[in-house]
């Protein structure tokens, strides 16, 4: 009898909102502001076709001149938020890194003519550990973080995602972590309610378009209605993880899987499978 090897199911790619600092782990006003988003994040693991072997996290909170990947076996946490309660600086997420996966990511990016470096010193920032504490609370799945490129070039980030698409067939989950609306002056301002909703309608339609049209629209996201009111000039780092996730989607179709109104603004999450 010949043994057969079961091929793992292809993983989706995701774009998730990571909230405001450590918002899920502290009191807020109103107290229920982040509840729906927290419940969405907690439900992601059960929605996947299998338990991921590893996770690649693209965080809005790490920008480098060239794409960089964490390559330490045990990265420390970076508490890169300010003015929050003392206990939020004691949060833990002891997920291991995976140096071999980091090297593979750098190779895949290099093969796509995208310069990439491995960083054995970089830790996990809150764009990684805050949502993952809800998504995979046991912190027992290896994680590699991928930076954004600080030129904020939309096409480069879509192409980076395209380079990583093969990982989806290796039971590796690719997650973009950011916010679909991220104008710090707009949060809590009722005038930004309709502005954020207008951009969200455009963004959702772009994500749900056929892949070629989707990638073309996302590459030109600045032309969307209210785009720069929702992501001010040189501050679009919270949107770019979505472009990496969309690039890694390849021919997979995208759809909105979550939306909520928080601090007067519309915030959404997307999935490609």
0.75 exceeded by pTM: yes
DSSP letter assigned to residue 90: S
Q: Is residue 82 part of a domain?
A: yes
Please, what is the angle between helix 35-47 and helix 126-135, to 10°? Answer: 70
Mean pLDDT estimate for the chain: 96
How many domains would you assign to the chain?
1
- 35 found inside a domain: yes
The first and second tokens of residue 70, run together, are 């964490």
Residues in Cβ contact with 193 at an 8 Å cutoff, skipping those fewer than 6 apart: 261, 264, 265, 266
Q: What percent of the chain stands above pLDDT 70?
A: 98
| 205 within a domain of the structure (yes/no) | yes
DSSP structural state of residue 245: H
Question: Is residue 4 in some structural domain?
Answer: no
Residue 8 lies in a domain: no
pLDDT given at position 5: 61
Cis upstream peptide for 30 (omega within 30°):
yes
d(CA 128, CA 36): 19
Q: How many residues does the chain have?
A: 273
Q: Does 200 fall in a domain? A: yes
Angle at 132 between CA 244 and CA 45, to 5 degrees: 90
Separation between Cα atoms, residue 178 and residue 87, nearest integer Å: 23
Q: Could you tell me the pLDDT band of residue 7, with boundaries at 50, 70 and 90?
A: confident
- For residue 145, tell me if it sits in a domain: yes
Host domain of residue 161:
13-272
Structure tokens at 7: 């091929």
Q: What is the distance between the alpha carbons of residues 170 and 168, in angstroms, rounded to a whole number?
A: 5
Ordered DSSP codes for 181-216: ---TTTTT-TTHHHHHHHHHHHHHHHHHS-HHHHHH
6 assigned to some structural domain = no
Count the neighbouring beta carbons within 10 Å of the beta carbon of residue 222. Answer: 11
Dump pLDDT digits (tens) for 144-184: 999 999 999 999 999 999 999 999 999 999 999 999 999 99
| CATH code for the domain in which residue 119 is found | 3.40.830.10
Residue 201 has pLDDT above 60, yes or no: yes
């Amino acid at each position: 009898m010949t043994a057969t090897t079961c091929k793992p199911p292809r993983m989706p790619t995701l774009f998730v909102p990571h909230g405001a600092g450590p918002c899920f782990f502290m009191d807020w006003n109103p107290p229920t502001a982040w509840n729906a988003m927290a419940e969405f994040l907690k439900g992601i693991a059960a929605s996947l076709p299998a338990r991921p072997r590893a996770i690649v996290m693209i965080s809005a909170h790490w920008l480098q001149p060239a794409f960089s990947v964490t390559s330490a076996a045990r990265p420390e946490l970076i508490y890169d938020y300010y003015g929050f309660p003392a206990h939020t600086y004691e949060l833990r997420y002891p997920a291991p890194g995976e140096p071999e996966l980091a090297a593979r990511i750098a190779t895949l990016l290099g093969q796509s003519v995208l310069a990439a470096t491995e960083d054995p010193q970089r830790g996990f920032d809150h764009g990684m550990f805050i949502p993952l504490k809800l998504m995979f609370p046991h912190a027992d799945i290896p994680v590699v973080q991928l930076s954004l490129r600080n030129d904020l070039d939309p096409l480069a980030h879509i192409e980076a995602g395209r380079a990583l698409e093969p990982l989806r067939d290796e039971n590796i989950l690719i997650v973009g972590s950011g916010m679909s609306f991220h104008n710090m002056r707009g949060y809590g301002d009722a005038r930004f309610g309709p502005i954020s909703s207008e951009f969200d309608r455009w963004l959702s339609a772009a994500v749900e378009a056929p892949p070629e049209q989707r990638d073309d629209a996302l590459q030109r996201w600045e032309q969307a209605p209210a785009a720069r009111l929702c992501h001010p000039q040189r501050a679009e780092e919270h949107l770019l993880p979505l472009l990496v996730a969309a690039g890694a989607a390849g021919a997979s179709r995208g759809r909105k899987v979550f939306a909520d109104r928080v601090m007067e603004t519309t915030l959404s999450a997307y999935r490609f499978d």
